[in-house]
């Protein structure tokens, strides 16, 4: 995959793979809005056992 630690491009499916661990809250929200609007993106989330998502040092 080409790209950086934030967003990579998958050569197989031609989709962006978004790593939410290194994005700001605003960037994560923007990516989720893209999905909500019907765009296909891959997002890498880390979820705790209690169901909260980890993005950088923040929790969703």
Q: What pTM was computed for the model?
A: 0.64
How far is Cα 28 from Cα 2, in angstroms, rounded to an integer?
20
Tokens of 28: 């994560």
Q: Which residue blocks in the chain are alpha helix, DSSP H?
A: 25-36
Supply the pLDDT for residue 45.
77
Q: Over the stretch 4-50, which tens digit does the pLDDT of each residue have?
A: 888 888 888 888 888 888 888 788 889 889 989 999 888 877 788 89
């Amino acid at each position: 995959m080409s790209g950086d630690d934030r967003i990579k491009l998958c050569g197989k499916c031609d989709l962006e793979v978004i790593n939410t661990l290194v994005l700001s809250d605003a960037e994560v929200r923007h990516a989720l809005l893209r999905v909500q609007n019907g765009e296909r993106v891959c997002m890498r989330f880390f979820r705790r056992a209690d169901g909260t998502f980890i993005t950088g040092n923040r929790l969703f």
